[in-house]
Amino acid sequence: MKRISILFVCMGNICRSPLAEGIFTHLVDEAGIADCFELDSAGTGGWHEGQHPDRRSIATAKDHGIDISRQRARRITAKDFDDFDLVLAMDRANIDELHRLSPGATNIRLFGEFALATGEDIPDPYFGSSSEFELVYARLLTGCRKLLETLGTDKASWSGKISSVR
């Protein structure tokens, strides 16, 4: 069976998307189904390429038993739109940029719509305090739990749920 591939995307790939990747990785590890997923994160901008996540993202994740310190920021590539079943953007500005980069891509979704079903943007905490990183973590955790629930743990049900994304 094909693995479900999800790419989490924010602007610089140092705050929100590494947290989302770390949270979802942790959830599938806990569920014992990590081998069924391919997970990554990227940014629409390349300012932080090769850097570790923001120290506040690392600390927030660590406070919840998740280690994202080994992740490295990267910029999204044209190949990513073909390689990933889902490209989940953290906000509408990143949705717009992703559609600009790949106008025909049908796998781009807003995290707040696809995972949370609220349509909300996940705010960028970069210029905020540690408490704002904690709030972002809470929204991402809720969304990642719902995303895993939506995809289900029944492997037979995955193909239908993901095929509607492409």
- Catalytic residue positions, numbered: 10, 16, 124
- Report the C-alpha gap between 95 and 108 in whole angstroms: 7
Tell me if 124 sits within 8 A of 146, measured CB to CB: no
Secondary structure of 46-99 in the HEC alphabet? CCCCCCCCCHHHHHHHHHCCCCCCCCCCCECCHHHHHHCCEEEECCHHHHHHHH
CA dihedral 17, 36, 77, 143 (to 10 degrees): -30
Largest interatomic CA distance in the chain: 43
- Report the C-alpha gap between 44 and 75 in whole angstroms: 6
